[in-house]
Structure 1
Amino acid sequence: MPFKIKIRNSSEIEVDEGNTILEAALDQGIDFPHGCRTGNCGACKSRKITGDIEMSPFSEFALDEDEESQGLILACRAVPWSDCEIEILSEEYNNQSVSNDIEIKSLEYKVENILKKTKDIYVLNLKIENEKSIEFKAGQYAELYIGNCKEKHFSMANSPKSSNLEFHIKTLSGGEVSNYVKNNLKIGENVKVKGPYGNAYLRDQHKGPIIAIAGGTGLAPILSIIKNSQEIEMKQPINIYYGAQSEKDLYCIEQFEEFSKNNKNLKFFPVVLDEPKNKIIRQGFVTDAIIQDINDFDGYKAYLAGPPKMVEVAEEILITKGIRKVDIHSDAFYTPYDEIKE
């Protein structure tokens, strides 16, 4: 028997026994804030008002003990066992928007180009014909339906002002979508794109300094954010830190170097773990470079995207050094290996 879940200030949904609130909400067309869907990122954090809800395993990084004791839940791990009422948290409380003010659309695009950038990263360019492209905010992501593969989330790397879409895809062992892109996807093939989603987007009204931290293909949403910030002529200091394993794993750095060349307030710092040949590139963890460079983050906005551990450590450092949690906008890129198993 399905349970009725009232979402305060939104609508009512039905959740079949054993299913999660987020799963049911998305199936029923509700624009519910979410990210990883596996209890790791905290993007779907909500407040339980009434009812009996059981939580499947989740990361303490996404929901800590204090928050859980206050009645907060993760909708992606919340399995109801009675009729319930919940409330989606406001941005002021938890860095999440109650609703997306851009309409979610599903449109067909064609593959315009597939570029191999490193040994395992491909840039996928899509174009649309005879329709207006999906609207989005810099830093958001979309669901891609490629071939017969299950849908997968990828962040837009292009500016919101561009009608063509750009996605950065890293090939993974056993990754259905990434290996299809590598081995089978053809120029001219149709790709369905549904979006936008995500709350780690550029806050263009912010006048204070900005720090952007990227790891791996987390560079994609950061690239979109920086492109947009330059188009709208944001004047504040912007520091960009990009971490990778080795110099060969860095890509698109020419674009960031061009940004910094044209804007004296923008600085770009590539950091790798292996010793680089180029002395301009720093060696070590990207988070260590940040600690060395900036002592006080009071008044900053931070945009983080990349591997979960990097995002988690960076958030802890930023908070320790004075940034407010509400001013951190993060998007952790979870692979199947990062997901919590039930």
Structure 2
Amino acid sequence: MADKHRINFEPVDIEMEVGEDEYILDAAFRQGIHLMHGCREGRCSACKSFVLDGDIQMEDYSTFACNDAETDEGHVLLCRSTAYSDCTIELLNFDEDELLGGIPIQEVRTRITAIEPMTKDIVSLQLQPVEPTEYEFKPGQYSDLQIPGTEEHRSFSMATTRSTPGHVEFLIKKYPGGKFAGLLEDGISVGDEITLTGPYGSFTLKDGHVLPVVFIGGGAGMAPILSLLRHMSETGSTRPVRFYYGARTPADLFYLEEILELGKTLTDFVFVPCLSESAEPVPSGLPEVEEGNVTDIVDRREPDIHRSEVYLCGPPPMVDAALELLEVHNTPKDQIFYDKFTSPAFE
């Protein structure tokens, strides 16, 4: 039996128990405490905190998320930190409403109802919860899907909303050599079962916020943004919305009709597909298409982006470029939310 220790979080005055055989973030989830987090792999820094007192050790993390100087000062990533004594930790990034009010982590047995290609390399995987029969999550969050027959999992964002708890959709990019990609090609089929665990992530709209919203997405980053758009439509949100989606060619665009229909129910909605390659004809019916990299187009069209809440989701290079752009525009960090999809090496 692993030794147990007490963790006290400041400045929120919350205490919890943690074992030496689990990461601090996992212990928090287990006890219904929803700390800020992102990738849960030690690569994004969303859960970065500061150790005020106690013995904590980190393992298997990226120095881009927490560099050597920061670790020397006492910074840690809670998703990769284990406590070996009672500790006091200062949370550097937290949402008081989420801390004790998040949706509990669930393990759900699901059945595949559809596997549909959306583009040449993005697939819609649709699941029906079997036990329990409903899956609760907040729009914008993600789940771990277990690779059948193994202990491994992969993380994917939901594209659906809480209005369909008996139907869950994931948009998954197929990478060459990827284990889950291989299953989508020839390994799983309609009727098969997959276990999912979740929900995770803080890529969610915050209650009571009124700033305009700018979505910047690419690839399978469409999924959580589509979930948020569906949610805003269902709840009658009146916040102005801009959605910039980066793709290579028109053939890489999908869900266009639904996005435009959702836009009719939203306030001051503009959807801008951004194509880095434009050799193919653009589908009819689109209000406007821009040529170039998505971040360059956002830079030109959104001079006041620092007065918006910005949601980023897509390939790491796109997210990194967008974060640099937002820094140049002096966008407050508490107005920026992002999911950085891992590279093929980690798919």
After TM superposition, is the score higher than 0.5?
yes
**Structure 1: distance between partners of 2:279 and 2:84:** 55
- Percent of aligned pairs with the same residue? 36
Q: Which residue of the partner structure matches residue 160 of structure 1?
A: 162
Higher relative contact order (CA 8 A, sep 6+): 1
Matched, 1:142 2:143: yes
Q: Residues of 1 paired with 2:279 and 2:252: CA distance?
A: 11
CA distance in 1, matches of 2:177, 2:27: 28
Q: Secondary structure at the match of 2:345?
A: coil
User: Is this contact kept in 1: 2:19–2:83, CA < 8 A?
Assistant: no
2:235 and 2:95 map into 1 onto residues whose CA distance is 25
- The one-letter code of the counterpart of 1:230 is S
| Equivalent residues of 2:20, 2:84 under 8 A apart | no
Q: What pairs up with 1:188-337 in 2 under 5 angstroms?
A: 188-263=191-266, 265-278=268-281, 280-337=288-345
Give the Å deviation of 1:39: 2.6
**Contact map agreement 1:140 1:196 (CA 8 A) in 2:** yes
Q: 1:276 to 1:99 in 2, by over 3 A?
A: farther
Structure 2: tracts of 5 or more residues without a match = 9-13, 283-287
Cα distance change, pair 128–215 in 1 and its aligned pair in 2 (3 A): same
> Which whole-Å CA distance do the structure 2 matches of 1:61 and 1:189 have between them?
39
SS at match of 1:220: helix
Change (3 A) 1:295 1:61: farther
- Superposed displacement of residue 142, structure 1: 1.0
Q: How far is 1:21 from its partner?
A: 4.5
In the alignment, which residue of structure 1 is the partner of 2:11? none
Shift of 1:106: 1.3
Partner of 1:7: 7
How far apart are the structure 1 equivalents of 2:27 and 2:264? 48
Give a deviation string over 1:285-335, Cα, whole Å, max 9, x none.
110010010112233111111112211221221232132101111111113
Q: Shift of the alpha carbon at 1:69?
A: 6.5
* CA distances 1:71-110 after superposition (whole Å, capped 9, x unpaired): 32112344667664434444259xx953552122112221
Gaps of 5+ in 1: none
DSSP 3-state at the match of 2:169:
strand
CA RMSD of aligned residues (A): 3.0
What are the Cα deviations for residues 29-66 of structure 1, in whole angstroms up to 9, with x where unaligned? 97554332333211221221223445557556534688
Aligned to 1:107: 108
Q: Within 1, Cα distance between the matches of 2:251 and 2:133? A: 37
What secondary structure is seen at the aligned counterpart in 1 of 2:139?
Answer: coil
User: Does the CA-based 8 Å contact 1:123-1:169 persist in structure 2?
Assistant: yes
Note the alpha carbon deviations across 1:182-212, whole angstroms, 9 max, x for none.
2121111112222111111122421120001
| Residues 242-268 of structure 1, C-alpha deviations (whole Å, 9 max, x = no match) | 112222222222221222344451111
Q: TM-score, normalised by structure 1?
A: 0.85
- Aligned positions, number: 335
Distance 1:109 1:92 in 2: 31
Deviates further, 21-30 or 329-338: 21-30
| Residues 32, 104 of structure 2: 8 Å contact kept | no
Task: Report the more deviating stretch, 25-34 or 120-129.
Answer: 25-34
Decide whether the 8 Å contact of 2:237 with 2:267 is kept in 1.
no
After TM superposition, give the deviation of residue 278 of structure 1 in Å.
Answer: 4.0
Quick one: distance in 2 between partners of 1:76 and 1:263? 36
The CA distance in 1 between the partners of 2:306 and 2:31, in whole Å, is: 41
Q: Match of 1:231, as an amino acid?
A: E
Superimposed CA distance per residue, residues 8-39 of structure 1 (whole angstroms, 9 cap, x where no aligned partner):
123222225xx854567678997554332333
Deviation larger for 232-241 or 42-51: 42-51
The amino acid across from 1:179 in the alignment is G
Question: Which whole-Å CA distance do the structure 2 matches of 1:318 and 1:60 have between them?
Answer: 22
